[in-house]
Amino acid sequence: MARNTKQTSRKSQDKSRRQAKDAPRGKNQRSERDVRPQSGKPSSSRGRAPQTDGRGRSSHADARGRKSSAPKNIIEGRHAIEEALNWGMKLKAAYVANDMGLRDGKFGRIVARLQSENVDVFVVDNAVLDSMSVRGSHQGIAAEIAPYEYADIDDVLTRAKDKENALIVLLDHVTDDGNFGAIVRSAEIVGAEAVVIPNARSAKVSAGSASTSVGAVFKMDIAQVSNLAAVIDKCKEQGFWVYGASEHAKDVVWNSNMRGKVVLVMGSEGDGISRRILEKCDVMTKLPQRGEIESLNVAQAATVMCFEWMRQSFGGLS
C-alpha cells in the first residue's frame, strides 16, 4: 500500500511540473533560456564617453566576447580612422575598447570627432576588436564604413558634354583593391571625369581601395555599371574616342593622339581587355619598352597613360 501511495505522489509531482512548464509566462518573466547579454547602445551625446551595457559588449559579440556577425568593411587604428574622417569617408559605426577610457588625449579627440559627425560609437571588449581586426593592429578602435554612393554615368556624361578635353578611365574587371585604388588616385590627380567599373567581378570602393587611393575615391566620381560595352557606346555618342591599353598594340602611347575627349580602357590583371570591349576600342596603344621583363602592372600602366593624356591635352602644366 505504501508503495502505491509513493507512485501516486510521483505522478502528482510530474503533472505539476508539466503544468508549470506549459503555463504562459508573464511579460516580465524569463526562463534561463531567455536571458541574453544585451547589446551596447551608441552614444549620441557630444562630449560624453560612449555608453556600454555594463558588460562592455556590443551586438557583434556573444557572451564570451567571440565574433558574431561582425561588420565586414572595417578600418582599424587611430591614424586610419583619423585619415578617413579627413577624407570625408562616411562611417556607419565605431567600436572602442572599454579599457582605453578617454585618458589618452588623441584617442578622446577622435571619439569626440566621431560623435560630432553623428557616428554611432560603441564600447566593446578588446576581444571583439580582435575578432574584427584584419591586421591585428586596431589600437583600441575600429570603424565600419557606410555604403559608398556611386555616380550615375549619365550625370558624368552630361557634365563632360561641352568640354573640349575630358578623360574617363574604364576598368574591364580589374579585381585587386590595391590596383583599383592606385588607378583612381592617378585619375583624380590628372583631373579625369570619372572611373567606370562593372558591378560584378571587379574591385569596388572599400577600406583597402580607399587607403591605396589616399582618399581619392571620395574626391571624384566612380560609376558602377552593369554593361561596359553600352557605356562605351554612350561615350562615343558624346564625342569620346576609345583607347585600349594592350602590350600587343602596334603604336606606343607617345605617338598616339590622346588629346581631347578620351575613354581609356584598362584590362584585368590576368586576362587584359575582353574581346567584346576590344571590339569597341577605336585605337590600341601601349607603353614603350626596352627591357626584357613583363610590362608594368595595370595600375602603373594606367598612371602613365593618364599623365600622357594630360600632357597632350593641356600642354605645359606646372
Of residues 134 and 219, more confidently modeled: 219
Residue 49 has pLDDT above 70, yes or no: no
Q: pLDDT (tens digit, 9 = 90+) per residue, 73-118?
A: 888 888 889 988 998 889 999 999 876 655 567 788 888 999 999 9
Q: pLDDT (tens digit, 9 = 90+) per residue, 229-254?
A: 999 999 999 999 999 999 889 899 99
The superfamily (CATH) of domain 153-314 is SPOUT methyltransferase, trefoil knot domain (3.40.1280.10)
- pTM here is 0.73
Where exactly are the structural domains of the chain?
A: 40-147, 153-314
Of residues 38 and 151, more confidently modeled: 151
| DSSP line for the chain | -HHHHHHHHHHHHHHHHHHHHHSPPPTT---GGG--PPPP--B-STTSPPP--SS---TTB-TTS-BSS--SSEEESHHHHHHHHHHT--EEEEEEETTTTT-SHHHHHHHHHHHHTT-EEEEE-HHHHHHH-SSS--TTEEEEEPPP-PBPHHHHHHHHTT-SSEEEEEEES---HHHHHHHHHHHHHHT-SEEEEESSSS--S-HHHHHHTTTGGGTSEEEEES-HHHHHHHHHHTT-EEEEE-TT-SEEGGGS---SEEEEEEEBTTTBS-HHHHTT-SEEEE----SSSPPPPHHHHHHHHHHHHHHHHH-S--
CATH for 40-147, options being 3.40.50.300, 2.70.240.10, 3.30.1330.30, 1.50.40.10: 3.30.1330.30
